[in-house]
Structure 1
């Protein structure tokens, strides 16, 4: 029989396990005080505090073993391209905490707080037949029946599969609703100081430049399916103009292109190879500090990979499209 403790026999393995145990303990405490584990995991990944292979054991240890969340695992019955309405509905379930895990065929595991639309953006499209796992539990300080949690898990799955789900009173925190309903305390208005002659009016601080010089991060690879018969020269040129438009708005961001797990440095290669056919995904990722407009970029690139690519080829060749 294999000794599962062999990894602890060496200093490196012991220290690695100890760091993992410590951060799991921290997560248990933070979730118990009201944090969402998906938020914590994504923040830790961005800060390089954990590695992606730790996600599954952390989810299992914290949500399944320690907190006893209801779990649903299934293969998606339909493709999800826009999660706006999903996030809007679930955001109202203030008595519950939810964590959604999506297993992407190319880029691996994504952990999503389904109340936050921005968590869906790096995924792009959630593809039919791929694995999704949902965890549902009571929010901190809420006394929610187990049957209600199980029903919420079923409703969330149905919502993700395209069903219309009406909000239930049991999913909404009465405590938070009472706090929100309290009338605001009227405070006496402070007297304005008389203007000093010759004094300059204070100016608002200048907005930070887009895509500043902070820590760079790369988004997960986002699939863009080719819906044209072939990804031909017209599609290539439309992608060039879309990416040029994006980089003109965000000059400190970079758009990377991947095909069959290979980085594509020259987008013309996609046309020259003649391999990219209908239904084939081309992957993109964006590098920069807090990348923006990811969904819009993906949407334009999807159109550029379709028979409608000509919409991006109008106008002078040297004119940058104003898409963002």
Structure 2
């Protein structure tokens, strides 16, 4: 269904025809382009034969019509879809520090780093949480809001997939991520505020201490589920040959357990992609709070398409104008040479 945000702009559509019937004035000088267009748009003498509209004239009219339609802000309303909100506000804090590039995970039997595995599992989780308002926080040396709370899970998922390691810095500010999550969840009903914190390290940056942030979260009834990601063992090549190491030696499990326990959440350990999938299936089973269904209709603006079409027809009018001028000049030159002969 098509709707116009500013339909009164359509009153400008007949403006070229009004100009057509205005009294004709004699130009003082030759114009580069407008001379030919005014000739086509001006009123012809009653004794002359009416000419068929030229390409130049048609392009100008189409350009004007598309421009007026674009200014009127047309939008296409899609089919209404029903959303059953659970009433739960769910924030996901995703670690983008440098250590997330460690390739101790697997996707489709191929080595993958921790962020790639996290994004793959998060994609399925977000799509399954239709009806919840989901937001994304990314953190490294600092914490940033990647996506505010929204029912638009498709856009949220796209923003998650666009995240890259190092976007927020190389270190890990767990306390700042929790603090930002509390701020974004304030003024929400106390039984619907959940923060999922995923990290592979310890708090090494930020102005807020994680324990202080957790205490404040508990006072604000924000439940925090924590996920420690990273394998226990990994084989790397050294000078003396293959060597087994623990790539998760920097993971502060004690801190993550305390944060979860202090806020009424749970701590999960993800040593593989399969573990992550199982964890998010558990989190997906959070009991939703039933509320009334709401209906949404997607809005698609047509402004840029109409504006582009107007520019194209205007460019064609300019080209046809120059073509007419060149033809006229050629005819005059031929006539002049004939007279001289």
User: Which TM-score band (shorter chain)?
Assistant: under 0.3
Structure with higher helix content: 2
The one of the two structures with greater contact order (alpha-carbon pairs below 8 A, sep at least 6) is 2
Please give the TM-score of this superposition, normalised by the length of structure 2: 0.20
CA radius of gyration, larger in? 2
Structure with higher strand content: 2
